[in-house]
């Protein structure tokens, strides 16, 4: 599988409600090779992991060019579909988001996570603005003749959403966004921070897009998530944090010994 469009189509096909694709998030070419060796069907970076591995904080602190170079190297190293956590696209204006998405496509990646929180600010982007931003990415991808997977992330259950949307309104607001994002050309709907099994199942039923959740403490296990209709399970920054914790402990044992 060497053609970018072939990889893109294969990645879309992995999103089956009830038989979710599992993405054990990586941060560079070395971690990509390790996860591929373990049997991964596709690869996904995590923004916090990529940034942390280079000594940066999350939230677009990592220079975009470094993120692009990293993605390009992963594509060169491993012949699996790669989706990139592109946070908020390193821009607010739709036209600039489209320009930056074009740069991601040129690395050979076949998809992105694209979030609706105001990076570096407060709350979530208005639905109408986020729709324009997603549509700009879809236009660029269509012009490149790539079935680019736009995984439209809502931060409704993370800090940005929790601080601005009342708990009793959160689910309905998320469903509204899922529909709007689908109409704008999104391929999937990502709801990190949602951990309640009943709400996960309800979201899978209500969303017009395949649903992606992230493994957090207190989450149902992957078998239960499949039963609830989830199509994609991500591990986010967990693998990188675990690797760094193991490294720290190994080093501490040497220095203290």
**Per-residue pLDDT reduced to its tens digit, 116-153:** 999 999 999 999 999 999 999 999 999 999 999 999 99
Mean pLDDT on 44-60 = 97
Mean pLDDT on 75-97 = 98
Rounded CA gap, 125 and 192, in Å?
Answer: 17
Looking at the chain, the whole-number percentage of residues with pLDDT higher than 90 is: 96
Contacts of residue 12, defined as CB under 8 A and 6 or more positions apart, other chains included, come to 147, 149, 187
pLDDT for 257: 80
Q: Which residue has the tokens 């809502």?
A: 154
Q: What is the Rg, in whole angstroms, of the alpha carbon atoms belonging to the chain?
A: 18
**Per-residue pLDDT reduced to its tens digit, 194-247:** 999 999 999 999 999 999 999 998 899 999 999 999 999 999 999 999 999 999
Looking at the chain, the whole-number percentage of residues with pLDDT higher than 70 is: 99
108: left (phi over 0), alpha (psi -120 to 50) or beta: left
Rounded CA gap, 219 and 221, in Å?
Answer: 6
Rounded CA gap, 229 and 3, in Å?
Answer: 30
Rounded CA gap, 230 and 221, in Å?
Answer: 11
Contacts of residue 40, defined as CB under 8 A and 6 or more positions apart, other chains included, come to 22, 23, 24, 80
**What are the structural domains of the chain?**
4-256 (3.20.20.60)
Mean pLDDT on 63-72 = 98
pLDDT for 2: 58
Task: Tell me the average pLDDT of the chain.
Answer: 97
What pTM was estimated for this model as a whole? 0.96
């Amino acid at each position: 599988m060497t053609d970018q469009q072939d990889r893109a189509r294969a990645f879309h096909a992995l999103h089956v409600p009830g038989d979710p694709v599992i993405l054990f998030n990586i941060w560079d070419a070395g971690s990509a090779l390790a996860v591929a060796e373990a049997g991964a069907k596709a690869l996904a970076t995590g923004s916090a992991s990529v940034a942390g591995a280079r000594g940066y904080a999350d939230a677009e602190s990592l220079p975009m060019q470094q993120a692009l170079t990293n993605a390009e190297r992963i594509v060169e190293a491993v012949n699996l579909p790669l989706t990139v956590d592109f946070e908020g696209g390193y821009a607010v204006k739709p036209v600039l988001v489209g320009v930056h998405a074009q740069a991601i496509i040129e690395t050979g990646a076949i998809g992105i996570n694209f979030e609706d929180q105001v990076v570096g600010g407060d709350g979530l982007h208005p639905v109408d603005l986020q729709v324009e931003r997603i549509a700009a990415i879809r236009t660029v991808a269509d012009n490149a003749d790539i079935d680019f997977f736009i995984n439209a992330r809502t931060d409704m259950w993370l800090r940005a959403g929790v601080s601005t949307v009342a708990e009793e309104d959160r689910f309905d607001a998320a469903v509204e966004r899922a529909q709007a994002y689908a109409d704008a050309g999104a391929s999937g709907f990502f709801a990190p921070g949602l951990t309640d099994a009943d709400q996960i199942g309800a979201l899978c039923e209500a969303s017009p897009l395949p649903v992606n959740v992230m493994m957090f403490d207190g989450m149902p296990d992957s078998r239960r998530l499949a039963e609830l209709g989830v199509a994609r399970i991500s591990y986010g920054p967990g693998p990188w944090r675990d690797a760094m914790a193991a490294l720290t402990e190994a080093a501490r044992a040497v220095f203290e010994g």
